[in-house]
């Protein structure tokens, strides 16, 4: 239980704010964006009402996750077992296909990463396009200044949806691999994190929610979502663009990609889309209840 308390997030390599990732982000900002870094640590950003809600929210939602959300989620092991048994039932048992361990682990790592990323793209896109889901996702977009903890400013219902997505995707992919290849499936890891997640987290995942406009350049941004591209997603203008997490290919294929490089980083004005014309009060209660009761201000 203690593992999940929010303080431990800093020492968990599977957390976005693992101290290594944060230090790396800080390092990148320090070397390349000295001026923006100053802004990030200025009082107007650091102590903005929006940021203060992020800090509070981080602690409260951490407790909520342990107390309510995790127990609610069906386990990934259960899903995997269920799918393995159904595969055997409907398609019959097949003798294990023999492939080298290296190929097996590498392909599993890649497939899991890619399918996971694709499912996040679509769930995120649905959070925007389905009106009832948007009511919940607005909590995240109501942030008017960004910092790494804004990542956790997500309504508990959205946590549940993303948690389910994770369980289903991991369960189904793992089950398919077990069906064809047997025991011993695992992702290539570094310090205990999927190596691809680790790499992407090292190159600035924490800058996605920040005022550090790190762009990858026109060419790379067609393949990978840069922090600047996600910052655009948080602006009042480009809210419904760049739904991707790590890979930009989904946004490119499904027509929602906006390159960061081409846009001036000066236009970064974060918050709910202009047409919603809503004054956000950044209250904790509002964040939890506004999706249900419109009268309670976000």
Partner 1 sequence: MIQKLAKSTLLGVVLFFGGCGGDNAYDGTNLVGGNPSSVQGDVLASIQKNILLNNATTLVENLNEVQSTLNSFEQNLSSAEVQSLQSDFVNIIENWKKVEAIYVASEYDSALRTMPINMDFFNKGKNFDVATNIDYVLGLNGSLQTAQVKKTTKTVTGIEYLLFANQASIEEMKALINQDSQKRLEIMKLAVANVYDNALLIQAFYKEDVKFISNVEDTLNILVNTLVQSTFDLRELRIGEAAGFIFKTKDDPKAERLEYFRSKKSLEAIKAILLAHQEVMGQQSFENLASFASSNGADAVVKKIQANLSNALAIVGEFSTPLQNGITPASVDTKIKRLYDEITDLQKNYFESLINALELTPDIIEADGD
Rg, the chain, Cα only = 20
Q: Residue from 53, 127, 280, 298 that binds partner 1 (CB under 8 A)?
A: 127
Q: Which of 192, 206, 179 is nearest to 23 (CA)?
A: 206
Of 67-75, 256-264, 272-280, 288-296: span binding partner 1 (CB under 8 A): 67-75
Smallest CA-to-CA distance from 137 within 62, 17, 239 is with 239
The C-alpha angle with vertex 17 and arms to 15 and 20, in degrees rounded to 5, equals 95
Site stretch for partner 1 (CB under 8 A), options 35-43, 152-160, 253-261, 264-272? 152-160
Among 76, 106, 237, 289, contact with partner 1 (rule: CB under 8 A) = 76
Q: Which of 45, 54, 118, 124 binds partner 1 (CB under 8 A)?
A: 124
Q: Does 73 help bind partner 1 (rule: CB under 8 A)?
A: yes
Q: Say whether residue 202 binds partner 1 (CB under 8 A).
A: yes
Distances (CA, A) of 292 to 158, 184, 197, 248, 279: 13, 45, 34, 33, 18
The reply on whether position 147 binds partner 1 by CB under 8 A is no
116 close to 231: Cβ distance less than 8 angstroms: no
The only residue of 1, 2, 7, 31 in contact with partner 1, by rule CB under 8 A: 31
> Is the CB of 14 or the CB of 265 nearer to partner 1?
14
Residue 128 found at the interface with partner 1 (CB under 8 A)? no
The residue count for binding partner 1 (CB under 8 A) is 65
Contact assessment for residue 252 and residue 220, using Cβ atoms and an 8 Å cutoff:
no
Q: Which two tokens stand for residue 169?
A: 């995707």
DSSP 16: T
- 217 part of the interface to partner 1, by CB under 8 A: no
Nearest-approach distance from CB 37 to partner 1, in angstroms: 14
Question: By CB under 8 A, is residue 188 in contact with partner 1?
Answer: no
Tell me how far apart the alpha carbons of residues 261 and 219 are, in angstroms, rounded to a whole number: 10
| Element housing 253 (H / E) | helix 249-253
Q: Does position 208 bind partner 1 by CB under 8 A?
A: yes
Q: Which is nearer to partner 1, 9 or 238 (CB)?
A: 9
- Measured from the CB atom, is 60 or 70 closer to partner 1? 70
Among 99, 122, 182, 217, binds partner 1 (CB under 8 A): 182
Torsional sign, CA 225, 39, 298, 58: positive
- Helix, strand, coil distribution of the chain in percent, nearest 5: 60, 5, 35
Rounded distance between C-alpha atoms, residue 181 and residue 74, angstroms:
25
What is the contact surface with partner 1 in residues (CB under 8 A)?
Answer: 4, 9, 11-16, 20, 23-24, 27, 31-32, 65, 69-70, 73, 75-77, 80-81, 84-85, 92-93, 95-96, 101, 116, 120, 123-124, 127, 137, 140, 151-152, 154, 158-159, 161-163, 165-167, 170, 174, 178, 182-186, 189-192, 197, 202, 208, 230, 245
């Amino acid at each position: 239980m203690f593992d999940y308390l929010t303080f431990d997030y800093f020492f968990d390599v599977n957390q976005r704010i693992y101290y290594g990732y944060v230090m790396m982000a800080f390092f990148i900002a320090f070397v390349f964006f000295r001026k923006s870094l100053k802004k990030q640590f200025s009082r107007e950003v650091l102590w903005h009402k929006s940021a203060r809600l992020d800090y509070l929210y981080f602690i409260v939602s951490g407790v909520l996750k342990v107390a309510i959300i995790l127990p609610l989620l069906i386990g990934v092991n259960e899903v995997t077992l269920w799918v393995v048994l159904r595969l055997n039932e409907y398609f019959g048992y097949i003798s294990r296909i023999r492939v080298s361990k290296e190929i097996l682990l590498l392909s599993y790592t890649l497939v899991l990463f890619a399918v996971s990323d694709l499912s996040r793209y679509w769930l995120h896109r649905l959070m925007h396009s389905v009106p009832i889901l948007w009511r919940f996702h607005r909590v995240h977009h109501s942030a008017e200044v960004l910092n790494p903890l804004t990542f956790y400013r997500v309504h508990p219902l959205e946590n549940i949806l993303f948690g389910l997505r994770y369980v289903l995707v991991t369960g189904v992919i793992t089950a398919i691999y077990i069906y064809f290849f047997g025991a011993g499936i695992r992702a290539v890891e570094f310090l205990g994190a999927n190596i691809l997640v680790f790499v992407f987290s090292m190159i600035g995942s924490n800058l996605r929610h920040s005022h550090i406009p790190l762009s990858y350049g026109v060419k790379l941004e067609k393949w990978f979502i840069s922090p600047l591209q996600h910052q655009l997603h948080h602006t009042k203008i480009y809210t419904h663009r760049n739904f991707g997490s790590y890979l930009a290919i989904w946004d490119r294929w499904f027509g929602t990609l906006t390159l960061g490089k081409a846009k001036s980083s000066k236009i970064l004005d974060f918050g709910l889309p202009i047409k919603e014309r809503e004054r956000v009060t950044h209250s904790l209660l509002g964040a939890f209840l506004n999706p249900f009761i419109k009268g309670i201000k976000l």
